[in-house]
Structure 1
Amino acid sequence: MSKLVLSVFLIISSANAFAFAKPPPPQPPTNPPGYSVVTPELGNKVVKNLMENYYDTRANCGASHRSSYLCSGITLRGTQPGNYHVWEPSPSSEKSGGVSFSYLRTDAKFSRLAYGYKSGFTIYPTFELVGSALDLEYLCFFPVDADTNRRDDAGCGAHTSYQSSSGECNAQGIYTDGQWVNHYNSTSSNGDNRDHHQCGFNIQYYYPNATEFVASNFYQGLQAMRDVSGQTHNKQNEIRIKTWDKSLGRQTPVQAFFYIDITGQEGLNEARSYQQDFYNMYGLIKPVVKLDLPATWDDEANLRSQWMIKVFNL
């Protein structure tokens, strides 16, 4: 059975197995002149945190207006190298007002990333932010990839193919996972019709009267994702986050860069390039994490960390 596995790569030398419960004694690295060395503790800490959040299935973060994305799960964005820094909003996101992410948790699983991407980055949950890190504003949640490039309202509104029936769930009287599933299945299953026809749950933490529904909205969306997983496990869910100021890149709450080992080294090489780019820009080191997505809904997460040392040119 395939497992979801997170492994940390803080570089590229030979690996020794590392167990959190009883780690091997550290081996002092040999530092080449003009380099700084990253110790494994950084990556081990991040991997441990990611897996704890992955298994945390709380319905909210202590209050009816505090959605569980604030304190649990893994919020991630699939990317590929391009003509902008991957942690910045894309040009299309700057135009639309929203950036697409996905949410991975033991009760919110999927087997692939958008567009078949092989790499990307994770962001810290809001309640784990420290210092001047940006508090990104979550807007809406779709249990299945919603083709938000063809939706209005920062990607949270109606799809161009279903203008009258694919807008915000609450506006249509849809508040529960059962209601969402009925709406999703109410149109033809040909192509991506149902994905385009689905409604999105409003999950804005700062939305007026948010205490009435926002945490429930997100949790109902997660339950809806589970309910249609037999049809959609090969499609990631979609969260829209309000586009942030890309000039504040240093404050973007990047937790780690990740890659998916589909074939060859492409994903790993991409993630390493993001890591080096972030360091070159801000002098900050983010670990590279190996992510194996579960092949089926019944597959579960596992954690593996390896002792590897990453060196950065000064």
Structure 2
Amino acid sequence: MVTVDDVRRLALALPRTEEHLVRDRVKFRIGRIVYLALSRDETELGFAFPKEERAALVAAEPEKFFLPGAGDMRYHWVEARMAALGVAELEELVTDAWRMCVPAKVARAHLEGGAEGGLPPAPGLARLRAAAEVFGAFPGVDRSWLALCADTAPGLDLSGAAHRAALHRWLNTWGCRIRYPREGEPDLLGKGLERWWSRHGGLPGARLAALSDREIGLLAAAFGELAALPVGRRTLGPTAAAKALFALRPETVMPWDAAIAQRLWGARDEAAFARHLTAGRAWARAALAESGGLDEAALAAELGRPGLPLAKLLDEYLYVTITHQGA
């Protein structure tokens, strides 16, 4: 038996996939093309499948597969009972459905482990140590972060105006260029953050290496809504949203910037951010395993950046090897 979390984990690991809730049904799509859809009670899964082959599929395993409703018979589509599927079989069905909806080169890159496909390899402690040395040598590199931590101790809480203002200042020190309100003007960012926080104040707080697939999905959804937050004539955007999430959950979220997102995932949407966190989790686990049993605090000290979470060290590695090299 498989669950909606199994479907979500597999689908969001595939390039260009986005999750949407449509009329109380969870659907996964590429652009406007839906390739997976769960029933409202999440017991049945519809998926893209060649319509010329589905009669044979249903005839071979009628206890597992069945034809779609009359309105969907014209599409390349078939249905399955979730209770009858195993995880390995689900992975094959999800991947094949996804392949029907993306360009062949995207599918090939993913399945062959190309740039837009499987997770990039973990950097290893030697490369993390080298990147930490480079990043730590940048003038005043930790000044703004330490100031934010001091201004919002014991932790950033966006229900307070002072904390929202502190986050605004910190984001701008990292080049987000979010306009400050003039005297008498409404604080669009502050009000937007307050509303967003009222819905997402319970963000997962596990360390990056310990995140579950469900928690990654929750963080990605929060990221998507935050990135779309209106700020004057534009939205907050994916870079500022990722950095804001890191500020809120520094032990949990590995942030990105435009260069990192584009190089690794070729996109900066919610699905790409889920893949980014999934990669960060794998890298964090690999680093801890390679350390021979050190905890995060001891590992950060051993890498020359004491007091920082592993999520931050991985972000620094990406900044040094991607953003800084391309500057």
Give yes or no for TM over 0.5.
no
Bigger strand share: 1
Taking structure 2 as the reference length, what is the TM-score of the superposition? 0.27
Taking structure 1 as the reference length, what is the TM-score of the superposition? 0.27
> Which structure has the larger Rg?
2
Larger RCO, structures 1/2 (Cα 8 Å, 6+ apart): 1
